[in-house]
Amino acid sequence: MEVQVQRARAAFRSGRSRSLRFRLQQLEALRRMVQERERDILEAIGADLCKSKFNAYSQEVISILGEIDHALEKLPEWITPKPVEKNLLAMLDEAYIHSEPLGVVLIIGAWNYPFVLTIQPLIGAIAAGNAVIIKPSELSENTAKILAQLIPQYLDQELYTVINGGIKETTELLKQRFDHILYTGNTAVGKIVMEAAAKHLTPVTLELGGKSPCFVDKDCDLDIACRRITWGKYMNCGQTCIAPDYILCEPTLQNKIVQKIKETLKEFYGENVKESPDYERIINLRHFKRIINLLEGQKIAYGGETDEASRYIAPTILIDVDPETMVMQEEIFGPILPIVPVKNADEAIKFINDREKPLAFYVFSHNDKLIKRMIDETSSGGVTANDVIMHFTLNSLPFGGVGSSGIGAYHGKHSFNTFSHQRSCLLKSLKREGANKLRYPPNTQSKVDWAKFFLLKRFNKRKFGLLLLTFLSIVVAVFVKTQQPAHLYPLPKTPDKGDQEPTGFQTSSMCEPPILPPHPKPNQEERG
């Protein structure tokens, strides 16, 4: 593994991954891989999670194609240096932020969405100009194998390397030095990744999870709310990190919610859920048994059927759930939906805040003020109001956790930023040395006063331009006025005859030229 990492580092230091042209070429090659080998990819995902090709495409492939297209369109803009505001001392200098690649980054994928959660961060790492070591999850072994097979066929083999293996291989990989690590998975492994990264002071992005709450207000459309909750909870057999983990609602809503979810499940999956091609299976036997144990001592309102041979767990709803029981102590990550009765929104807010910060929070209500209040008074990685999961699909929003649900974020430009260093650049001239006397010894009060003026006053191009234009206008006006001949100056109002002085000059202000008396008209004899 050390050899593979060093090979990637040598390739990065060659500089070829930095050019815009190269990055665009690699992203286009990745898009070709997805399009040309779509069938192989869908079959691998289906084999790992018993997922239909329609679900695999809509849940994993579409978002990848959209992310690549977005990066191809926006990358020229992203890599352009961004000018920054300047103070008076730097107003003639060039100051900007340059996004530079970090180097060799490690991406550790997840098994629940083995394609999208591995390739989506890869897009951002390529766009940012990095070399990448890709470690797919060993639990989704078919997808891991197809990635190891396809990526070298389409991408630069020295810059982008897939390493497969289990805990032993991952542990060895984490001993290597990277410039960034992005891990998607559970909190326990996230701590191991962060500890390993700390030995090299390597920054990390941890996409973890947690128990994402869903508050259903009495003032909402229950039919629509339950339809959307059902879709998000039981998609991928509940193995979604941002699936609604449990429902909070007033006691009077509990039975109504159960009934409407039951009706929706029949609509989605038919009378026999087990036979539906749209309903997946638990990834392996260990997770199957873990989820079954969560049902112990619970009041099952619907579902509960299981089949160990096929790792099938029916969509299940629990009611009157005690917050102290096991099902409320860990992320469920399966098709079990507990309902916890609360008196009102105040109690729901307290319930959420008494626990670790979740990766997502959902609220259903017609009351916009209540929605805003619940957003303001709680904390989570992301929020969707009157729907679930959909904030993940918007690449203009950063996707990530907070607290125990994760560190950092990605998607769209946020992926580019995650895998880039924002480098501060100030380009000065070797001229104008006189201004630097302010910072050279010996120091004086006068220098301090001038330094305060130059450093604390922000230089704004627009304001400076208006000020300069105003100043030039005044200069031009004064110049024009001083060049005007005397006879062009306006005369004052002629005084009344009674006020006229009979002879000599008329009185005038200090700023006005003297006014001469009118010449007498010549008489007839003089004309002749």
Of 4, 107, 111, 25, nearest in space to 71 by CA:
25
Q: Label residues 304-316 b or e (16+ Cβ within 10 Å = b).
A: bebeeeebbbbbb
CB atoms within 10 A of CB 387: 15
Catalytic positions, please?
A: 207, 241
Classify 27 in phi/psi space as left (phi over 0), alpha (psi -120 to 50) or beta. Answer: alpha
Q: How far apart are the first and last CA of the chain?
A: 122
The vertex-200 CA angle with 196 and 204, nearest 5°, equals 65
DSSP letter string, 109-136: --SSSTTHHHHHHHHHHHHTT-EEEEE-
How far is residue 103's CA from residue 307's CA, in Å, rounded to a whole number?
47
Environment class of 259 (CB within 10 Å of its CB; exposed 0-12, middle 13-18, buried 19+): middle
Of 378, 352, 13, 258, nearest in space to 159 by CA:
13
